[in-house]
Amino acid sequence: MKAVLLRGTGGVEVLHIGEHPDPVMKEDELLVRVKATALNRADLLQRRGKHPPPKGVPDILGLEMAGEVVDVGAACEGWAPGDRVCALLPGGGYAERVSIPAGLAMRIPGNLSFEEAAAIPEVFLTAYQNLFNVARLAPGETVLIHAGGSGVGTAAIQLVREAGAVSLVTAGSQEKIDRCLALGARAGWNYKEGEFAPWVARMTEDKGVAVVLDFVGAAYFDQNVQSLAVDGRMVVIGTLGGAEVEKFSLRALMSKRLQITGAGLRGMATARQIRLTGHFATFALPRFADGRLVPIVDSVFDWRETAKAHERMESNVTIGKIVLRVTW
């Protein structure tokens, strides 16, 4: 099969389409012809040699896909060739075909295109896992979502809204903030205008937020702690602003009874991913079908233009997901 491969590691010049062995389907798996895949920050890191795939996973980029089932393993029930599915992957999405455990497959609602469906798995599952299973978000609580215009950010805003909770967001432009407000955020702060903690205090009448979803890491750590309410929970999803916190007093952690947790789906055991997918599908697929939830697609590139797609992600101007259309 054809796939987007790497000539070593480095810039976008290492990306090229070449031949790769076909996936070998197991009896509990589905063989899927990929119609679309989507970019994630992990793809950029892997391309640069900083985020290798888990052991046993093909070195092809791509953590999600949408496509059409072409073969069904002997131990799979309820699936047939021609079914439209999308799924989270440990890797391999930038390819013509993938083989996935049937439990990770989600049926694509009829109102969504393959390109739209490819924008769902990684960001919505990440947001769902960290809001509900890790942070235990409850109706009426307030969540501070950093990188509100990102794929995970735009997904989280919608999930918070559907849970009967409230979101505040930070983003780097008024355009991104406006899009977040349209998706259901209560208010937004442009981080280029200064520290966000005083703004959070004003927006919450000095009570703070119950949950912080953080993609920035060290650069925001102190302000995040300031912004959390008593019994607040912070989930660290990324470290775009650094991974090393130089000084931190445990007094704030103790006085507010805070919980700080790390997050990541790629290394999660398959059985846990299957359970997560099942819970998410029950909650979300009816909402995608009737429009309460929508995948946010920034742009669509033919996979022959993967280098341009990576350059767009690196520009940090995107709102939502960048999608690659896999053509033959």
Go through the chain and tell me how many residues it has.
328
> Which pLDDT score, from 0 to 100, does residue 51 have?
87
Intervals of CATH 3.40.50.720 along the chain:
123-262
Question: Could you name the CATH architecture of 123-262?
Answer: 3-Layer(aba) Sandwich (3.40)
**pLDDT (0 to 100) of residue 265:** 87
Q: What is the pLDDT of residue 248?
A: 83
Question: What is the model's pTM?
Answer: 0.96
How far apart, in whole angstroms, are the C-alpha atoms of residue 265 and residue 134? 12
- Superfamily of segment(s) 2-120+266-325: Medium-chain alcohol dehydrogenases, catalytic domain (3.90.180.10)
Give the pairing type, strands 228-236 and 259-262. Answer: parallel
pLDDT of residue 70: 98
Are 171 and 144 a contacting pair, CB within 8 Å? no
pLDDT of residue 324: 98
Residues of the chain with pLDDT under 70: none
The per-residue pLDDT for 179 is: 98
Q: Pinpoint the residues of the chain covered by CATH 3.90.180.10.
A: 2-120+266-325
pLDDT at position 228: 98
Which stretch of DSSP H or E encloses residue 41?
helix 41-47
Distance CA 98, CA 268 (A): 19
Percentage of the chain surpassing pLDDT 70? 100
- What pLDDT score does 315 carry? 95
pLDDT at residue 243, as a whole number = 81
Instruction: Check residue 131 and report its DSSP letter.
Output: I
